[in-house]
Amino acid sequence: MMVSSPHDGTLVPQRTYRPHTQSDRRRYVDEVELEAPIMFYMQDPEGCGIALRDALNSKFMRLVGRDDLMFGSRGPSVSIRLMWPGYAPWSRQIPTRDFRSPPGPITRSKLAKNVAKTIQRFIDEMTGREMEEDADPRWRVGKNHINLDDMILVGLQHVSMGSWQAHVRLRARV
């Protein structure tokens, strides 16, 4: 399966999230078996990454494994983290259970939708805020800058016990 090519657009460069203190790093990273990344592959045509606007609008026909159950052995929520260039580290909790009775793990498609909502919230919160000093202005998010329609969710990286970092790339400018 094809992963991505330079024609797919630029991966947003992020530092990998790490807990602040040595004891937290030991407890939540070093002493935990981190899981493999969760990827969002597409078919017809094949590629890696779902457009965040499609995820938000529940357009999952091309998503490979859209009904796969995610986070089966997790608690009720996980943190989705962004280390977006030019902004302070940011995270929000998303549920890992659906609202069926009895509640079960969410599907890959529901996870993509929850992450899309979370990234939209990041953009909304950062709109109008100043970027950090010496930040590269091309990574600015918000109105007339990078927004949800420009982004593709590639995957989630397990970075600490309850945290997954979202990796996104920008759509190729044609």
- Supply the pLDDT for residue 49: 96
Q: Rounded to the nearest 10 degrees, how much is the dihedral formed by the CA atoms of 131, 134, 136, 139? A: -20
SS3 category, 108: helix
Reported residue count of the chain is 174
3-state SS, one letter per residue, for 117-131: HHHHHHHHHHCCCCC
Q: What is the pTM of this model?
A: 0.91
- Specify whether the CB–CB gap between 167 and 14 falls below 8 A: yes
**pLDDT tens, N- to C-terminus, the chain (174 residues):** 344 454 568 999 999 999 888 999 898 888 888 999 999 999 999 999 999 999 999 999 999 999 999 998 877 899 999 999 999 999 999 999 987 777 889 999 999 999 999 999 999 999 989 999 999 999 999 989 999 999 999 999 999 999 999 999 999 765
Burial of 65 (0-12, 13-18, 19+ CB in 10 A): middle
Q: Rounded to the nearest 10 degrees, how much is the dihedral formed by the CA atoms of 171, 11, 105, 99? A: -50
- Supply the pLDDT for residue 4: 46
Domain map (residue ranges) of the chain: 6-170
- Supply the pLDDT for residue 173: 64
